[in-house]
Amino acid sequence: MRPNPFSFKISEILNFLSLKYENYSMNRSYFLLIFFLNFFIISGLSGTCPDYSEHLRFYMIQQDTFPENQILYNGRIWRNLYYRLNGDQLIFTNMFMPGSLTINGKTFTNIDIKHDIFSDEILIPIDSGRILQLNKELVDSFSVVFQNKKYRFTKMQEDSLKRLKSYVNVIYKGETALYVKYNKKIDRSAIEGKSDSFYQTSRIYFVKDNKAYTLTDKSDLFEVLKKDKAQIRDFMKKNKLRVSKKDPESFVPVIRYYDSISR
């Protein structure tokens, strides 16, 4: 006789389900859980079900032992659909980076994170080397540390900032704000016999009066702040300040000064 693939008692599963049904009877995810677990139990008893015991045990531990993980582990398994391409769709590195996440106002620290900037998805590791793609509708913000530098990202949702309706790196936030939006695109000009490649792009956005303006150099900034152009130019000259698209933080002293004189 083929051994039962579940290493724990079916009665434990039924007790687990009854408790969850009582506490979360209106939660759609638990109805789905009940459906699939009943399928696994029946199939397991008949000897037709593969060994799902480890996956089920992981789910039960996450749901039952650590209630806060019901918030964190909300998403679906991530699949790398672009593994044939040169490079990757991730920001900074293809390795997990230490960081933190804020989901529906609750912050989780000491989380390993990858950011897929091609699809704008947040990824965290789970069991057996698998990767979970979080429900980005719930993730308010996150931060990662790369090469000893901390990067803070927030999700922009304002209707008037449609170009920024994604996760952006927060460079400065005051009366005005400065963000960098990273993206990866696919270069499909590969010659025969070679794969297409990912390449990274970035844009700097200056947000003033709930409007986003693209910045590449000081002329773009002067155009947006033309009312105070002379005063800002003098400030930059006096303090020997230069701004560059290659260094988004170079804009910060100038924008901070603008905020101070426009109050």
Whole-angstrom distance, CA of residue 73 vs CA of residue 75: 6
Question: Which tens digit of pLDDT belongs to each residue from 167-222?
Answer: 999 999 999 999 999 999 999 876 766 788 999 999 999 999 988 999 999 999 99
Residues in the chain: 263
Side-chain half-sphere CA neighbours of 223 within 13 A: 9
Question: Which tens digit of pLDDT belongs to each residue from 126-158?
Answer: 887 899 999 988 999 999 999 999 999 999 876
pTM of the model: 0.72
Domain finish residue from 130, 149, 168: 149
Q: What is the structure's pLDDT at 162?
A: 65
CA dihedral 107, 108, 109, 110 (to 10 degrees): -160
Question: Which tens digit of pLDDT belongs to each residue from 90-138?
Answer: 999 999 999 999 998 899 999 999 999 999 999 999 887 899 999 988 9
Domain finish residue from 65, 91, 111: 65
Looking at the structure, tell me whether residues 135 and 212 fall in a common domain.
no
Tell me which residue range forms the domain holding 142: 75-149
